[in-house]
Amino acid sequence: MDIGHILIIEDEEHIVELIKFNLENNGYKVSYALDGQKGLEMIENEQPDLVLLDLMLPKVDGIDICNRVKNNKNLKEIPIIMLTAKSGETDKIVGLEIGADDYITKPFSVRELLARIKVVLRRYQNTKSSDMEGSLTVDDLVIDIDKHEVSREGIVFELTLKEFELLRILALNKGRVLSRSYLLDEIWGYDYFGETRTVDVHIRHLRSKIEEGSGKKYIETVRGVGYKIK
Ligand code: CA
Protein backbone atom coordinates (compact mmCIF):
# COMPACT_ATOMS: atom_id res chain seq x y z
CA MET A 1 0.00 0.00 0.00
CA ASP A 2 1.34 3.45 -0.88
CA ILE A 3 1.18 5.30 2.40
CA GLY A 4 3.00 8.42 1.32
CA HIS A 5 5.90 9.90 -0.57
CA ILE A 6 8.60 11.47 1.59
CA LEU A 7 11.39 13.70 0.32
CA ILE A 8 14.55 13.84 2.43
CA ILE A 9 16.75 16.95 2.03
CA GLU A 10 19.94 16.29 3.96
CA ASP A 11 23.62 16.60 3.08
CA GLU A 12 24.94 13.84 5.33
CA GLU A 13 24.68 10.74 3.20
CA HIS A 14 24.78 8.25 6.04
CA ILE A 15 21.76 9.92 7.63
CA VAL A 16 19.94 9.87 4.30
CA GLU A 17 20.72 6.17 3.94
CA LEU A 18 19.50 5.37 7.43
CA ILE A 19 16.23 7.28 7.09
CA LYS A 20 15.58 6.05 3.56
CA PHE A 21 16.10 2.42 4.54
CA ASN A 22 13.73 2.64 7.49
CA LEU A 23 11.03 4.61 5.70
CA GLU A 24 11.03 2.22 2.76
CA ASN A 25 10.78 -0.71 5.13
CA ASN A 26 7.70 0.94 6.58
CA GLY A 27 6.01 1.31 3.21
CA TYR A 28 6.86 4.88 2.26
CA LYS A 29 8.09 5.95 -1.14
CA VAL A 30 11.31 7.91 -0.63
CA SER A 31 13.34 10.34 -2.70
CA TYR A 32 16.19 12.55 -1.54
CA ALA A 33 18.39 15.53 -2.33
CA LEU A 34 21.86 16.23 -0.91
CA ASP A 35 21.73 20.02 -1.24
CA GLY A 36 19.16 22.76 -0.82
CA GLN A 37 18.97 23.84 -4.45
CA LYS A 38 18.21 20.34 -5.68
CA GLY A 39 15.84 19.88 -2.76
CA LEU A 40 13.76 22.92 -3.73
CA GLU A 41 13.54 21.73 -7.32
CA MET A 42 12.38 18.33 -6.15
CA ILE A 43 9.70 19.78 -3.87
CA GLU A 44 8.27 21.64 -6.87
CA ASN A 45 8.57 18.78 -9.33
CA GLU A 46 7.57 15.87 -7.15
CA GLN A 47 5.10 17.49 -4.72
CA PRO A 48 5.85 14.94 -1.99
CA ASP A 49 3.42 14.23 0.87
CA LEU A 50 6.01 15.32 3.43
CA VAL A 51 9.52 16.80 3.51
CA LEU A 52 12.23 15.95 6.04
CA LEU A 53 14.41 19.03 5.91
CA ASP A 54 17.86 19.44 7.41
CA LEU A 55 18.62 22.91 8.75
CA MET A 56 22.24 23.35 7.64
CA LEU A 57 22.52 22.57 3.94
CA PRO A 58 24.83 23.55 1.09
CA LYS A 59 23.57 26.13 -1.46
CA VAL A 60 20.18 26.95 0.09
CA ASP A 61 19.69 26.36 3.82
CA GLY A 62 16.72 24.70 5.48
CA ILE A 63 15.19 27.89 6.87
CA ASP A 64 15.23 29.47 3.44
CA ILE A 65 13.62 26.41 1.86
CA CYS A 66 10.95 26.27 4.53
CA ASN A 67 10.14 29.96 4.02
CA ARG A 68 9.87 29.59 0.28
CA VAL A 69 7.61 26.55 0.52
CA LYS A 70 5.31 28.08 3.12
CA ASN A 71 5.00 31.30 1.11
CA ASN A 72 4.18 29.53 -2.14
CA LYS A 73 0.48 28.91 -2.54
CA ASN A 74 1.02 25.76 -4.58
CA LEU A 75 3.43 24.21 -2.09
CA LYS A 76 2.44 25.49 1.32
CA GLU A 77 0.21 22.48 2.04
CA ILE A 78 3.24 20.19 1.99
CA PRO A 79 4.17 19.41 5.60
CA ILE A 80 7.77 19.89 6.70
CA ILE A 81 9.63 18.28 9.58
CA MET A 82 12.94 20.02 10.27
CA LEU A 83 16.01 18.04 11.29
CA THR A 84 18.37 19.97 13.53
CA ALA A 85 21.79 19.11 14.88
CA LYS A 86 21.40 20.50 18.38
CA SER A 87 18.62 21.71 20.61
CA GLY A 88 19.91 25.29 20.41
CA GLU A 89 19.09 25.27 16.72
CA THR A 90 15.62 23.96 17.43
CA ASP A 91 15.00 26.84 19.79
CA LYS A 92 16.16 29.22 17.12
CA ILE A 93 13.85 27.94 14.39
CA VAL A 94 10.89 27.71 16.73
CA GLY A 95 11.61 31.35 17.58
CA LEU A 96 11.72 32.28 13.93
CA GLU A 97 8.25 30.87 13.38
CA ILE A 98 9.13 29.71 9.92
CA GLY A 99 6.09 27.52 9.71
CA ALA A 100 7.64 24.07 9.90
CA ASP A 101 5.20 21.47 11.17
CA ASP A 102 7.55 19.75 13.56
CA TYR A 103 11.20 19.60 14.59
CA ILE A 104 13.39 16.70 15.54
CA THR A 105 16.86 16.94 17.01
CA LYS A 106 19.71 14.68 15.90
CA PRO A 107 20.51 12.06 16.95
CA PHE A 108 16.94 10.77 16.94
CA SER A 109 15.58 7.26 17.12
CA VAL A 110 13.96 5.80 14.04
CA ARG A 111 10.91 4.96 16.09
CA GLU A 112 10.52 8.58 17.15
CA LEU A 113 10.96 9.83 13.61
CA LEU A 114 8.36 7.40 12.28
CA ALA A 115 5.91 8.41 14.98
CA ARG A 116 6.34 12.13 14.19
CA ILE A 117 5.91 11.52 10.46
CA LYS A 118 2.74 9.61 11.05
CA VAL A 119 1.24 12.28 13.28
CA VAL A 120 2.05 15.11 10.85
CA LEU A 121 0.72 13.17 7.84
CA ARG A 122 -2.46 12.29 9.65
CA ARG A 123 -3.02 15.88 10.72
CA TYR A 124 -2.74 16.99 7.09
CA GLN A 125 -4.93 14.22 5.74
CA ASN A 126 -7.61 15.09 8.26
CA THR A 127 -7.65 18.79 7.38
CA LYS A 128 -7.42 18.09 3.68
CA SER A 129 -10.27 15.63 3.74
CA SER A 130 -12.57 17.77 5.83
CA ASP A 131 -11.82 20.75 3.59
CA MET A 132 -12.65 18.84 0.46
CA GLU A 133 -15.54 16.70 1.45
CA GLY A 134 -18.07 18.29 3.70
CA SER A 135 -19.85 15.05 2.99
CA LEU A 136 -19.06 11.72 1.37
CA THR A 137 -21.43 9.24 -0.17
CA VAL A 138 -21.39 5.46 -0.34
CA ASP A 139 -24.23 4.28 -2.55
CA ASP A 140 -27.28 5.78 -0.80
CA LEU A 141 -25.47 6.55 2.46
CA VAL A 142 -24.47 10.13 3.21
CA ILE A 143 -21.52 10.64 5.55
CA ASP A 144 -21.53 14.17 6.92
CA ILE A 145 -17.99 14.87 8.08
CA ASP A 146 -18.69 18.13 9.93
CA LYS A 147 -21.70 16.85 11.82
CA HIS A 148 -20.23 13.39 12.32
CA GLU A 149 -23.44 11.86 11.04
CA VAL A 150 -24.35 9.03 8.71
CA SER A 151 -27.79 8.88 7.14
CA ARG A 152 -29.87 7.18 4.48
CA GLU A 153 -32.79 9.02 2.95
CA GLY A 154 -32.64 11.53 5.75
CA ILE A 155 -32.70 8.96 8.54
CA VAL A 156 -29.66 9.29 10.80
CA PHE A 157 -27.91 6.21 12.21
CA GLU A 158 -26.70 6.12 15.79
CA LEU A 159 -23.02 5.31 15.34
CA THR A 160 -20.24 5.36 17.91
CA LEU A 161 -17.19 7.50 17.18
CA LYS A 162 -15.10 4.46 16.21
CA GLU A 163 -17.82 3.13 13.90
CA PHE A 164 -18.07 6.52 12.25
CA GLU A 165 -14.30 6.71 11.80
CA LEU A 166 -14.18 3.23 10.27
CA LEU A 167 -16.84 4.13 7.74
CA ARG A 168 -15.22 7.48 6.97
CA ILE A 169 -11.77 5.99 6.33
CA LEU A 170 -13.16 3.18 4.20
CA ALA A 171 -15.25 5.66 2.20
CA LEU A 172 -12.27 7.98 1.70
CA ASN A 173 -10.31 5.04 0.32
CA LYS A 174 -13.11 3.70 -1.84
CA GLY A 175 -11.96 0.73 -3.91
CA ARG A 176 -8.89 0.06 -1.80
CA VAL A 177 -8.54 -2.80 0.63
CA LEU A 178 -7.54 -1.54 4.07
CA SER A 179 -5.88 -4.06 6.35
CA ARG A 180 -7.04 -4.64 9.92
CA SER A 181 -3.72 -3.45 11.30
CA TYR A 182 -3.87 -0.28 9.19
CA LEU A 183 -7.36 0.47 10.47
CA LEU A 184 -6.33 -0.30 14.04
CA ASP A 185 -3.41 2.05 13.73
CA GLU A 186 -5.40 4.85 12.08
CA ILE A 187 -8.37 4.78 14.41
CA TRP A 188 -7.07 3.50 17.70
CA GLY A 189 -3.66 5.11 17.32
CA TYR A 190 0.01 4.38 17.30
CA ASP A 191 0.25 3.41 20.95
CA TYR A 192 -2.77 1.15 21.05
CA PHE A 193 -1.66 -2.44 21.44
CA GLY A 194 -5.01 -3.99 20.78
CA GLU A 195 -5.81 -7.00 18.70
CA THR A 196 -6.90 -6.71 15.10
CA ARG A 197 -10.04 -8.58 16.16
CA THR A 198 -11.16 -5.28 17.70
CA VAL A 199 -11.59 -4.03 14.14
CA ASP A 200 -13.77 -7.02 13.21
CA VAL A 201 -16.05 -6.45 16.17
CA HIS A 202 -16.56 -2.79 15.32
CA ILE A 203 -17.13 -3.57 11.65
CA ARG A 204 -19.77 -6.10 12.64
CA HIS A 205 -21.60 -3.54 14.76
CA LEU A 206 -21.29 -0.92 12.05
CA ARG A 207 -22.70 -3.30 9.45
CA SER A 208 -25.62 -4.31 11.57
CA LYS A 209 -26.55 -0.66 11.96
CA ILE A 210 -26.17 0.57 8.39
CA GLU A 211 -27.03 -2.59 6.44
CA GLU A 212 -29.91 -3.98 8.44
CA GLY A 213 -33.15 -3.95 6.54
CA SER A 214 -31.58 -2.35 3.47
CA GLY A 215 -30.63 -5.57 1.71
CA LYS A 216 -27.30 -3.92 0.90
CA LYS A 217 -23.68 -4.79 1.58
CA TYR A 218 -21.74 -1.54 1.77
CA ILE A 219 -18.60 -3.01 3.31
CA GLU A 220 -16.87 -5.95 1.71
CA THR A 221 -14.68 -8.38 3.66
CA VAL A 222 -11.51 -9.32 1.83
CA ARG A 223 -10.62 -12.63 3.38
CA GLY A 224 -7.30 -12.72 5.16
CA VAL A 225 -6.63 -9.06 4.39
CA GLY A 226 -9.18 -6.57 5.59
CA TYR A 227 -12.10 -4.51 4.38
CA LYS A 228 -13.09 -2.28 1.53
CA ILE A 229 -15.92 -0.25 0.11
CA LYS A 230 -16.48 -0.64 -3.60
CA1 CA B 1 23.53 19.39 7.40
What domain range includes position 214? 132-228
Structure confidence by residue, pLDDT tens digits, 31-40? 999 999 999 9
Domain edge (last residue) among 86, 107, 129: 129
Both 47 and 124 in a single domain? yes
Distance 3 CA to ligand 1 centre (A): 27
- Angle, helix 36-46 to helix 62-70, in steps of 10 degrees: 30
Both 46 and 125 in a single domain? yes
| Residue percentage of the chain with pLDDT more than 90 | 52
The confidence band for 128, taking pLDDT boundaries of 50, 70 and 90, is low
The confidence band for 208, taking pLDDT boundaries of 50, 70 and 90, is very high
Distance 66 CA to ligand 1 centre (A): 15
Structure confidence by residue, pLDDT tens digits, 60-113? 999 999 999 988 988 988 999 999 887 676 666 665 667 788 888 888 899 989
Domain edge (last residue) among 129, 149, 183: 129
Domain edge (last residue) among 102, 129, 156: 129
Return residues with CB closer than 5 A to ligand 1 (ion): 11, 54, 56
Distance 16 CA to ligand 1 centre (A): 11
Both 9 and 123 in a single domain? yes
* pLDDT for residue 27: 92
Both 117 and 142 in a single domain? no
Both 102 and 146 in a single domain? no
- Look up the CATH number of the domain holding residue 179: 1.10.10.10
DSSP the chain: ----EEEEE-S-HHHHHHHHHHHHHTT-EEEEESSHHHHHHHHHHH--SEEEEESS-SSS-HHHHHHHHHT-TTTTTS-EEEEESSHHHHHHHHHHT---SEEEESS--HHHHHHHHHHHHHHHHHHHHHHH-SEEEETTEEEETTTTEEEETTEEE---HHHHHHHHHHHHTTTS-EEHHHHIIIII-TT----THHHHHHHHHHHHHHHTTTT---EEEETTTEEEE-
Beta bridge partners of 35: none
Number of domains in the chain: 2
- Look up the CATH number of the domain holding residue 45: 3.40.50.2300
Both 14 and 105 in a single domain? yes
φ/ψ of residue 82, rounded to 5: -85, 140
pTM metric for this prediction: 0.58
Distance 48 CA to ligand 1 centre (A): 21
